[in-house]
A and B are shown apart, each in its own frame.
Chain A
Amino acid sequence: MNRKIIFAGGASALLLGTVAIAQTAPDTSSTAGRGSDSSMSSATAGSAGQAGSMSGQSAVSDQDAAMSADQAGTDSAADADMRMAGERG
């Protein structure tokens, strides 16, 4: 099945509903990369997970960029969009 990653707008989250993620080398610059444990970095059985072109880690890097702007105090259109989305509860 060929699946794609979809960004949830300009936000710091990704939809997984129609996703397959290919795992690439860890992005040590990303937050998730910092959280990676080298003891888990070994190869494993299974040939799945090869489809797609974006890893979870690189997606997180995009989020980092968005959040950096947030932390710098800038109020982008994406920030306003997220504020408008509110919290569904």
Chain B
Amino acid sequence: MSACLIGLSGGEARQQAHDANVAPVQRVVHPLYEQLQRQLAAYEASWAQLPQTPVRPGPTLTKGAVGERVAALRHRLGLPSGERFDTVLAARVSAFQSAHGLPPTGDANAATVAALNKGAGPYEDLIQLNLDRLRALPGDPGRRYLLVDVAAARLWLYENGRPVHSMRVVVGKPDQQTPEMMGVIRYMVFNPYWNLPPDITRASIAPNATKYGPEWVSDAGYEVLSSWASDAAVVRPATIEWRAVAAGDEVVRVRQRPGPGNMMGRVKFMFPNSRGIYLHDTPHRRAFAGDARVASAGCVRVEDAERLARWLAGVGFEDATGAPEQRIDLAQPVPVYLIYLTASPGADQIVFRPDIYQRDRQGAST
């Protein structure tokens, strides 16, 4: 017999289930959902109850400023009336900025005044939208799993319900977006080939083969295969009508040979899917610098692929030989969840992030 103990904390549910001599049901939402829900309540208590007085746009207000705009700002932020921008107001402005994804300068600049004038409602709606996104995660995602927040361009390694490590990732460009999806990593491949999707072959291989001749394909480190069957043979690039491929009239299977310049880097992590989305290493390290890590064609490039390989299968790069395409099966397949959060739970308050793919408006209208 099972019991549904909705509305109780985990500990309360377990205790009540024990008292009632019934087994508690499976967790229904992911812990991140609960955390964001709690922080939404805290957000509403801190910011949604304040008077939504408009502050007239104008020059940046800083400490020492006086006037009616300062008076409006003080009222908007729930401080005693007055016309002076003092230390208390600066701290309050800084707290508001920090809670709304703005740099906490303490100065009421144009972005801050715009956020103040937007009011709490749009932020609450955005948090609700992200709660909906978190509902897509299973309540019990597995003992070990990977979570990629595409909007944050970051990967977390979870073990026994806790993140044990995190690393930066590079996600798809806005015109080649990384989707929200789940998969199960069952194996990884050291020293891999990069198997090109037909659209990339058409856009970046065929024009060069047409311009420089078919020998360019081999010289640039690529191979052409006879079909998409598992027993396809390598064929000479000269046998392909590259002009037709560039025009989209023909498709051809192309792969990049393993090596230092291979797009997959030294290892790729496989959860086969028809969208061609994977986690992998990369030779392009500079893309990990900075906050805007949107440079891939949709895959997730991981900053520390060796650490991930060790966590998944207990093997590192020194365990690989020079042979191409060395497949390592995981003893325990590991789920991977790709989500997109523009408002996510932080250590003590909600973290708002740029909507890099402009999905918030789309999500809000559904």
Contact = CB atoms under 8 A, between A and B. Distances in A.
A62 to B, nearest CB: 11
Contacts of A72: none
A88 B138 contact: no
Contact of B136 (A13, A21, A81): A21
A48 B29 contact: yes
A80 B332 contact: no
A84 B198 contact: yes
Interface residues of B, number: 82
Task: Kindly name the residue among B6, B176, B253, B274 whose own CB sees the greatest number of chain A CB atoms within 10 A.
Answer: B274
A88 B277 contact: yes
SS class, residues of chain A in contact with chain B: loop
A15 to B, nearest CB: 5
A85 B274 contact: yes
B244 interface: no
SS class, residues of chain B in contact with chain A: loop
B230 A86 contact: no
Nearest to A33: B142
Contacts of A89: 194, 196, 200, 263-264, 280, 296-299
B28 A46 contact: yes
Contact of B228 (A25, A31, A48, A83): A83
B85 interface: no
Contacts of A23: 26-29, 138-140
Chain A interface bracket (under 10, 10 to 19, 20 to 34, 35 or more): 35 or more
B280 A87 contact: yes
Contact of A36 (B31, B140, B334): B140
B181 interface: yes
Interface of A: 1, 3, 8-17, 19-26, 31-32, 34-37, 39-51, 55-57, 59-60, 63, 67, 70, 75, 78-89
Q: Which 5 A-B pairs have the closest CB atoms?
A: A9-B274, A13-B183, A56-B138, A13-B273, A86-B197
Interface of B: 2-10, 13-14, 17, 24-29, 31, 33-34, 37, 131-132, 135-145, 160-161, 172, 176, 179-184, 186, 194-198, 200, 228-230, 251, 253, 263-264, 268, 271-278, 280, 296-299, 332-335, 337-340, 366
5 contacts: A20-B132, A23-B26, A51-B135, A56-B335, A63-B183
